[in-house]
Structure 1
């Protein structure tokens, strides 16, 4: 494991040196420079190919939250999409798109054939890895801009025509992405350390992108690509099914019903986990660390709508419970899907080495996240966590399989559910999803939430529920909202926990008051019955400051109701279809001499 990480570090260092040699003029799209003689002295053997491709792994990321989405009640730092919906991002101030990663990949693809004394199979393995990462680069670009220029080779400053060309169509770029992924899946070896790209990782990426593009085309009809959505969805099914039938992966149940799910996200050894398809191997000894303690009460908390998505332990809907909207932070945990208490902080949760249970901060909403929160004391510090992070896990592949078949209208057997969603549910002993029930009883709340579903509405909605619950906080929600064409959900005013009345409340489950929410410091009536000694142990929060101005939160009904946020009320977000599905190209790129770029869809004026 450490040797693999050392190779990646070496590769990254080598590529940083290449970058110095090959980047001399970045005025237009990080202009592709003329290369030096580096390729003549480097691409000699198969080890060179390994070293070079190891540098690409530095582009992988490990999300620990669904920033900017309806899965968060509030995020102190906000997000780019929040700023966009409030008019804060324009072509005049948009960031410049970057292409240096693509340059490094294309440089490899133009020079790998210099290697001598290596079999085609050995060489194509590394070519497949390069194309895997080129596909990921372009997936991000298509997601952000829709139409983008496709560059399949490095360019020099004299290549003015391709450098200045208009964007290629989404159709052409996506076909090129799929071609890269198909090559990767066909040529990358199936074995190898799970922190490297294997055949199974390539197939997982292929199935993930095929589902994304298939549903995007199905629901974004204004693109005129809906007729081709079926092809992508069918490929999502076949790629995910190959992993299911041949990959040998399993849903991990280690730790039992009440631990197995949470343990996935605090593991220091995902290599040995049967659910792991690909992961990022963080390492204490090599100082390869990240932040994961920040999920708990640092900048965000989870939302009411996410909380309501989790079913009851018997498989019934939480939203069918009497008075479900007015249950307090303790009551919402009673008889729920076990994944709920392994994602949301339950009253009584105690951090490692803490002397007392954790007190929530109502200023973030109150629904704290514990998924990813470490259980090793030295990890609860800045850039100190060395828990591993999934890139692809088997549960997502099962969800892809189920959703793609549902969107195609061919998820028509109980066997399909049993080998996909019900495998996931079995980890936490949740009742199986029954096809006839999912197809017959449409959840009216979900139907209102996703009003544009096409096909078997009830089944698709239940598959989406399962995806939202299983993949919560893993960075998938933003793209899901976009591909389903329900961006308006990102403009909703999110809510936190329910507060039954102003005054003191127990949020740690020990029967004693821990916090109090008051109108202001002067309005102490609700806590008048507490002694000075008792008040020392109660953290006070005020809806208004000493001057009568609003603080960051308010209650939905004034003196009771769900916690809501003044910034969301006073500076409302407005999602503009179809504009806000994309990011504008910076004007500084548009006005360069000779540029034939056109502004992103929706941002033309």
Structure 2
């Protein structure tokens, strides 16, 4: 509550809009330095304005799942992703925004005027450096190289015409900011409630370093390659920081010894994550303050905003014994030869979930799941594949239930936009996966490394310890990685499913080859429990409307992507977005990204 009030007060004090551009605005002058920069409380109020940029949910979507609608794991039913289909042009350029960076720079230039307890001042300074790192990292993920500006600019500042900072130098500057944040922020046992902490900054550093290391490694020799690349340097930073985070002793996975429910319960924790050590940062919602969402309105239905989990994602989950299922996609079960892997019967959700990694049944809605608790509970029976209310339909037949809260007043029995279930911003599991991936990239993923990272995640859900020989990822050969790297990538894909990581993972892995030609599919319809049970308003069977492929699987894009041979991802340009043309006009020293036409 206090955090939200501080955010509101900070915005009033600053009088600064959230979308300013450093390149075409006058200097910040709405705060009098002599009147404002006097105490640690002033610093706290100032950095509060950046808290709304932390990951969270708002508006009409179904939660973390919607963050992955730009990937191959989650399918938007109302239209395909244009970037995956190679349709991005310079006219789609957007997001080149230095407004928040400029505000952080203003803070950094003024915070030394404040007096008070030095450890309190240091903490909020650390928060500012964290946010600057975050804002630059998001620009780097979108555009690659961008100018690194470390001070407030005026209209006559020569830095307005700086060229793009070399990618590895930019990454190093981001990591330097995170190192400052780590050195200054309090740990979670001493930090004020609902504030960023040392642990969050350490987690974020592993994210940045892993991203840059894999980008440099897998984009080598391409137009996106990095001069003087040194991916091992970044992998070692991930390992070093990951081990330091583990050794703090302040983080642990949520594990109550219930493998059939612990994973699901982690994302269904009501309105608070207080006391959950795995959750390093979370967002609180409040009806009285008008900070709410609509997550449960969708999760409590039998169709989720006309989106759906893809069959490729379902096929990623291992057998309960740790063995991969058949790697060939969209092949009728009757045509699957027995080659030693598990072959899934797709004729019902029961058979799909049988003897699989328990995270699958705790992520995908299935028959018998309680959607809403009441005198007579609402039970999930079958997905809504077709109907008048497309908002509550599913594109694939695989509905997410990650984050489901069965409280009737969080969803269908309450008014629109009034949900208050808490959402996770950052969790410890990501740091374990980042560590494991870096160790695999370095060729050091041994039993000791797995025991303190990926195996903790697998043990939580009752899966056997990872053995590289039996856990190779089903897309390993297509991506040309080692079995160890592939195994960790699979584990990452499953553990972080529908949490917004997939697209950026595909980009840093240079995985365009598994996007191009990919046709997203849903569950089996022909010959399954669903066959003949879905009609449109004219009593036409869904199958008669060509909404299934020749193998009987649901084909959400039968009229678009499928008829064009799958996604047309363009590896010559689509790994990055184009630099906005207006920025190049203002600063001729900026260059355009590969594959996009210049001026």
* Global fold match (TM > 0.5): yes
The verdict on how the C-alpha distance between 1:232 and 1:166 changes in structure 2, with shifts beyond 3 A counting, is same
Residue in 2 aligned with 1:462? 487
What's the TM-score, normalizing by structure 1? 0.84
1:31, 1:155 within 8 Å by CA — same for their partners in 2? no
User: What CA RMSD, in Å, does the superposition of the two structures yield over aligned residues?
Assistant: 2.7
Which whole-Å deviations, capped at 9, do the CAs of 1:214-234 have from their partners, x for residues lacking one?
Answer: 111111103135741111111
Alignment of 1:5-24 (within 5 A): 5-15=4-14, 17-19=15-17
> Is residue 379 of structure 1 aligned with residue 386 of structure 2?
no
| 2: CA distance, partners of 1:179 / 1:57 | 21
Alignment of 1:385-396 (within 5 A): 385-396=419-430
Secondary structure of 1:180's counterpart equals helix
Secondary structure of 1:153's counterpart equals coil
Residue in 1 aligned with 2:583? 589
Alignment of 1:174-193 (within 5 A): 174-190=171-187, 191-193=190-192
Alignment of 1:444-459 (within 5 A): 445-449=474-478, 451-453=479-481, 457-459=482-484
> Is residue 494 of structure 1 aligned with residue 497 of structure 2?
no
The verdict on how the C-alpha distance between 1:522 and 1:254 changes in structure 2, with shifts beyond 3 A counting, is closer
| 1: CA distance, partners of 2:543 / 2:258 | 41
Residue in 2 aligned with 1:349? 369
Residue in 1 aligned with 2:34? 40
Runs of 4+ in 1 over 6 A off after TM superposition: none
| 2: CA distance, partners of 1:47 / 1:37 | 15
Residue in 1 aligned with 2:534? 516
| 2: CA distance, partners of 1:52 / 1:514 | 59
The verdict on how the C-alpha distance between 1:340 and 1:13 changes in structure 2, with shifts beyond 3 A counting, is farther
Secondary structure of 1:591's counterpart equals helix
Residue in 1 aligned with 2:165? 168
1:517, 1:542 within 8 Å by CA — same for their partners in 2? no
The verdict on how the C-alpha distance between 1:498 and 1:78 changes in structure 2, with shifts beyond 3 A counting, is same
Task: Please report how far the alpha carbon of residue 197 of structure 1 lies from its aligned counterpart in structure 2 after TM superposition.
Answer: 0.9
> Is residue 303 of structure 1 aligned with residue 310 of structure 2?
yes
Pick aligned residue for 2:440 from 401, 406, 420: 406
Which whole-Å deviations, capped at 9, do the CAs of 1:279-320 have from their partners, x for residues lacking one?
Answer: 222334433222323355213110111111111222222335
Residue in 1 aligned with 2:235? 233
What's the TM-score, normalizing by structure 2? 0.85
Where in structure 2 are there 5+ consecutive unaligned residues?
Answer: 57-62, 327-339, 387-394
1:207, 1:240 within 8 Å by CA — same for their partners in 2? yes
Where in structure 1 are there 5+ consecutive unaligned residues?
Answer: 508-512, 524-539, 545-549
Task: Please report how far the alpha carbon of residue 326 of structure 1 lies from its aligned counterpart in structure 2 after TM superposition.
Answer: 4.5
Residue in 1 aligned with 2:384? 361
Task: Please report how far the alpha carbon of residue 122 of structure 1 lies from its aligned counterpart in structure 2 after TM superposition.
Answer: 3.0
Alignment of 1:415-430 (within 5 A): 415-430=448-463
| 2: CA distance, partners of 1:244 / 1:313 | 28
2:525, 2:548 within 8 Å by CA — same for their partners in 1? no
| 1: CA distance, partners of 2:428 / 2:471 | 28
Secondary structure of 1:256's counterpart equals coil
> Is residue 153 of structure 1 aligned with residue 114 of structure 2?
no
Residue in 2 aligned with 1:547? none
| 2: CA distance, partners of 1:235 / 1:217 | 14
> Is residue 565 of structure 1 aligned with residue 557 of structure 2?
yes
Which whole-Å deviations, capped at 9, do the CAs of 1:138-183 have from their partners, x for residues lacking one?
Answer: 0010011111111111112222x32233222212211110110010
| 2: CA distance, partners of 1:336 / 1:171 | 41
Secondary structure of 1:272's counterpart equals coil
Residue in 2 aligned with 1:51? 45
Secondary structure of 2:571's counterpart equals coil
Pick aligned residue for 1:122 from 93, 116, 120: 120
The verdict on how the C-alpha distance between 1:258 and 1:67 changes in structure 2, with shifts beyond 3 A counting, is same
Secondary structure of 1:185's counterpart equals helix
Secondary structure of 1:351's counterpart equals strand
Pick aligned residue for 1:274 from 274, 277, 293: 277
Alignment of 1:131-150 (within 5 A): 131-150=129-148
Task: Please report how far the alpha carbon of residue 212 of structure 1 lies from its aligned counterpart in structure 2 after TM superposition.
Answer: 1.2
